[in-house]
């Protein structure tokens, strides 16, 4: 079956530090990959996505590249801000295998301190 | 578009009472998902619908939980009778198959069962 593994949190960084949150996946088909972000007290919001190998998704300074050879989709940002403090979820959708649901990782909590 | 709408945003009830959570998906979306989020278990998919038909309810914890989608613009999740362990944040999300299954989440309903 499909699964998503992301690094355990929490992650605490100082403002302007470099961020990496690791995500690896297992899928039977050719999935689309997503990063969602959840700010305190809110629902999940789509942050970025990539739909095929070597695609790079980007938004708000965050980037992630779909690496089929390593089955990875690591999230990076060059300089984090306090406002980036949130929980980040990696997810996949394997519609080629006939499934239209998302498989989520457990989430990584990021705290950015001034 | 108004996004996914959920009501109520907060619900406090006593054990044994019936609870009904409501969701209005984004217009034109043909998939609707119900999730539950807790600190202990993270984000869990409870059930999802396609074109108002339940497709997979394997995540529904027990017979006390039921979900309906009488039309394309409305869904309910009912818990009867409610128990303290049902306390969680319940999210509704919707998606459109032509958009790589990216899901759009509502703000959630925070349920507290005393």
Nearest to B21 by CA among B76, B60, B86, B63: B76
Summarize pLDDT for B56-75 with one digit per residue, the tens.
999 998 899 999 999 999 99
Query: Using CA atoms, how far apart are residues B23 and B54, in angstroms rounded to an integer?
Result: 15
Query: Using CA atoms, how far apart are residues B41 and B62, in angstroms rounded to an integer?
Result: 16
Ranges of chain B with pLDDT below 70? 1, 98-100
- Average pLDDT estimate for A20-35: 92
Q: Which pLDDT band holds residue A11 (cuts at 50, 70, 90)?
A: very high
**What pLDDT is attached to residue A95?**
67
Whether residue B91 and residue A95 make contact (CB cut-off 8 A), yes or no, is no
Whether residue B93 and residue A44 make contact (CB cut-off 8 A), yes or no, is yes
Contact B38, B59 (CB under 8 A): no
- Is the Cβ of A108 closer than 8 Å to some Cβ of chain B? no
Question: Six-digit token pair at B84?
Answer: 């303290």
Give the mean pLDDT of chain B. Answer: 93
Contacts of A101 in chain B (CB under 8 A): 33, 45, 48, 56, 101
Summarize pLDDT for A54-82 with one digit per residue, the tens.
999 999 999 999 999 999 999 999 999 99
**What pLDDT is attached to residue A80?**
97
Summarize pLDDT for A85-112 with one digit per residue, the tens.
999 999 998 766 566 788 899 999 999 9
Longest pairwise C-alpha distance within chain A? 45
Whether residue A46 and residue B102 make contact (CB cut-off 8 A), yes or no, is yes
Contacts of A76 (CB under 8 A, 6+ apart): A18, A19, A20, A21, A62, A63, A64
């Amino acid at each position: 079956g499909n699964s998503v593994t992301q690094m355990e949190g929490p992650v605490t960084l100082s403002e302007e530090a470099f961020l990496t949150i690791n995500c690896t996946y297992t899928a039977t088909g050719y999935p689309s990959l997503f990063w969602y972000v959840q700010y305190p007290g809110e629902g999940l919001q789509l942050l970025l996505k990539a739909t095929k190998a070597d695609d790079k998704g980007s938004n708000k300074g965050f980037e992630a590249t779909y690496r089929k050879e390593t089955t990875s989709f690591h999230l990076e940002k060059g300089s984090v801000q306090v406002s980036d403090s949130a929980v980040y979820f990696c997810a996949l959708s394997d519609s080629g295998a006939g499934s239209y649901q998302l498989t989520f990782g457990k989430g990584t909590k990021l705290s950015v301190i001034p | 578009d108004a996004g996914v709408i959920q009501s109520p945003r907060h619900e406090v009830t006593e054990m044994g009472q019936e609870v009904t959570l409501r969701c209005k998906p984004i217009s034109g979306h043909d998939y609707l998902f119900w999730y539950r989020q807790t600190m202990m278990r993270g984000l869990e998919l409870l059930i999802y619908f396609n074109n108002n038909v339940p497709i997979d309810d394997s995540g529904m914890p027990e017979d006390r939980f039921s979900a309906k989608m009488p039309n394309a613009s409305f869904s309910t999740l009912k818990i009867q009778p409610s128990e303290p362990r049902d306390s969680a944040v319940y999210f509704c999300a919707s998606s459109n198959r032509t958009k790589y299954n990216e899901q759009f989440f509502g703000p959630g309903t925070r349920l507290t069962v005393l």
